[in-house]
Amino acid sequence: MKELFYTLVFLIFFTRLSAQEFMLSSPNELIRVELHQPDEVTENWYFKVFYNESPSEKALIPKIEMGLARNDEGFSSNLKLRKTGKIKSISEAYNLIHGKRSSTSNAAREVTFYFRNDSGKKMNIVLRVYNDGVAFRYEFPDKEGNFSIDNEFTAFSISVDATRWLEKWNPANEGLYQQMQGDSLRGEWGYPALFHDRDTIGWYLIHEANLNRTYAGTKLSNTKDINTYNLVFPNPGDGRGTGKSKPDISTPWQSPWRVIIIGNLATVTESTLVTDVSDPVKLKDTDWIEPGLVSWNYWSSNHGTKDYQIVKKFADLAEKMGWKYTLLDWEWDAMGNGGNLEDATAYINKLGVKPLIWYNSGGDHTWVPATPKDRMLTHENRVQEFTKLNELDIAGIKVDFFESEKQNMINYYLDIVEDAADFNLLVYFHGSLVPRGWSRTYPNLMTYEAVRGAEWYNNVPTFTMNAPQHNTILPFTRNVVGPMDYTPVTFTNSQYPHVTSYGHELALGILFESGLQHLADRPEGYYSLPEEVITILKKLPAAWDDTKFIYGYPGKNAALARRKEESWYMAGISSELWEIEKEIALKFLKPGIEYQLKLVQDGEHDKAFKISDGKVTSEDTLKVKLLRRGGFIAVFEPIKSLTK
């Protein structure tokens, strides 16, 4: 009888191994990941991902193939599973100085799969299943030496029937997202990539996080198979051919996390999974880091910083509006018409505003000749320059034109951020990579461009008609994964005109999150607004305590509510070519509190507002009307408690 018992146990275990190696669910049981062995079609081990809200048994992602190739060994089709580790519970809470949520918590289950290749060399795969997604990464645990990674075989099998929102890869990450379904395009695609599988009702956003000095940035490519999105390394020509495309590693080693945010559209939009899996803060002192609004003269004046008188006008704007910062953009080293850099910083600081300053990242990796382009290149350069900036009471630096995500450039980004932190300098990047979670690790990194923002009204006439739809996609794609320096809230026109309403433009200051929020219009564009709107812009936060999805669909409309302390700010926009009306439940407000409402929506025409006041609670609904390509904002400030 005892022998029979052990035989049955062996058979059950063997059957389980033959069909399915392992299954791991999220703590809330909504997401399930299965590990499967290679089969006749698939050479590599693979994950299968299910979303349990689905009405069908179909997998949300039927196959995620895995594996790596080192310059000395392969770790893909030749892998044998040695053992599966014990399931661990992950429960974490942490704070962020800026972002969509100041106090963040997450829960996950984690397991490690221990593999060997034919030579007996070890590679582990660590899997975490969170309530809002999946993350996995590779490990080489042995202390063997130095290697290069020749290839990563991570690949997502995604049916062409899934609706997708993808941005064609470009080194500055400033393309337009395209909505595709059916005969979708082949190509290389930047992060993050959004997918909606109608059969399983699931939404998912593919990204990577905690990229560090030990790897290069990756992107997605379906050039070989239209249904398979492979992770690929940077192109050799990126950064004018400087740097190696394939990363060098030293073991023991861990890869960045491969992240898939999963759920309904609200789950995806509100997720903090990218920072959840990133390294905790490395700075000992963060009290000096202050998010804030910034006046910016480039959008309206192009060569504004070259003119001392224009610099003064934008400093005056920041002072009158109560904004913390003003930016001295390119050409500050050629400033004239009554003053130079020293005069400008003295004037700005006397007003109680803090100056920020622009730099070309420089070096042989960029084609852009704009100066100064030699101040960031080495540690010695940076120490010398940052010492001067401290003497001028300059609060932070904008560094531009990186044009590569090769490993050498990842190191360059992090060198700048770390050295700047030693001098209490804020940092933000333009012409850059998309956020990978660094703002948690280095909170002095305030924002990134990596978006086709309002600057493109200066660049091409086509952005005029692209912008409305593009703006409604960004809250569900690019801005999900980290701060986004779109430079919003522009009412007047720059090189090419708007077709969005004033209500639409006003809403972008709330809808788009950025630790340094550049409001890009010229001073008269703000001074001519109604007093109620000016008052809102004076008090507008640049960092939030909470964020809630209200409604939306990428490419059509979007509405979010964000909380700062006890006040809520809600904003919505539309790209539709007709007027729409929305009735919004105010359940995001704190129950038992009465709020003073200030509603600013589209008026009689696209350059007019309709402003109204009222008192509301969480049990009320709010009716809003948006013109075509329109928008609205609503501000809720607590008045009193309704409970005894």
Examine residue 162 and state whether it is found in any structural domain, yes or no. Answer: yes
pLDDT of residue 160: 86
Examine residue 582 and state whether it is found in any structural domain, yes or no. Answer: no
Q: Are residues 140 and 177 in the same domain?
A: yes
Amino acid at 365: H
pLDDT of residue 182: 83
Number of domains the chain contains: 2
Last residue of a domain, one of 540, 571, 594: 540
Q: Are residues 102 and 160 in the same domain?
A: yes
Examine residue 594 and state whether it is found in any structural domain, yes or no. Answer: no
Residues of the chain falling short of pLDDT 50: 1-20, 644
Examine residue 625 and state whether it is found in any structural domain, yes or no. Answer: no
Q: Are residues 266 and 313 in the same domain?
A: no
pLDDT of residue 201: 86
Examine residue 401 and state whether it is found in any structural domain, yes or no. Answer: yes
Last residue of a domain, one of 231, 249, 276: 276
Q: Are residues 349 and 204 in the same domain?
A: no
pTM above 0.75, yes or no: yes
Q: Are residues 136 and 42 in the same domain?
A: yes
CATH of the domain at 66: 2.70.98.10
DSSP sequence for 315-346: HHHHHHHT-SEEEE-TTGGG-BSS--HHHHHH
- The answer to whether 399 touches 359, Cβ cutoff 8 Å, is yes
DSSP sequence for 85-146: ---EEEEEEEE-SSSS-SEEEEEEEEEEEEEE-TT--EEEEEEEEETTEEEEEEEE-S---E
Structure token digits, residue 368: 């852009």
Q: Are residues 244 and 312 in the same domain?
A: no
pLDDT of residue 54: 67
Q: What distance in Å separates the CA atoms of residue 131 and residue 526, rounded to the nearest whole number?
A: 43
* 581-592 pLDDT per residue, tens: 999 999 999 999
Q: What strands, in cross-sheet order, belong to the sheet with 61-65?
A: 22-25, 31-36, 46-51, 61-65, 155-157, 228-232, 219-221, 188-189
Examine residue 219 and state whether it is found in any structural domain, yes or no. Answer: yes
pLDDT of residue 16: 41
Q: Are residues 302 and 362 in the same domain?
A: yes
pLDDT of residue 332: 98
Q: Are residues 396 and 469 in the same domain?
A: yes
pLDDT of residue 642: 76
Examine residue 599 and state whether it is found in any structural domain, yes or no. Answer: no
Q: Are residues 196 and 320 in the same domain?
A: no
Q: Domain range for residue 100?
A: 20-276
- The answer to whether 599 touches 636, Cβ cutoff 8 Å, is no
CATH of the domain at 440: 3.20.20.70
Q: Are residues 196 and 127 in the same domain?
A: yes
Q: Are residues 406 and 473 in the same domain?
A: yes
Last residue of a domain, one of 503, 520, 540: 540
Examine residue 64 and state whether it is found in any structural domain, yes or no. Answer: yes
pLDDT of residue 552: 98
* 480-501 pLDDT per residue, tens: 999 999 999 999 999 999 999 9
- The answer to whether 179 touches 166, Cβ cutoff 8 Å, is no
Amino acid at 620: D
Q: Are residues 307 and 160 in the same domain?
A: no
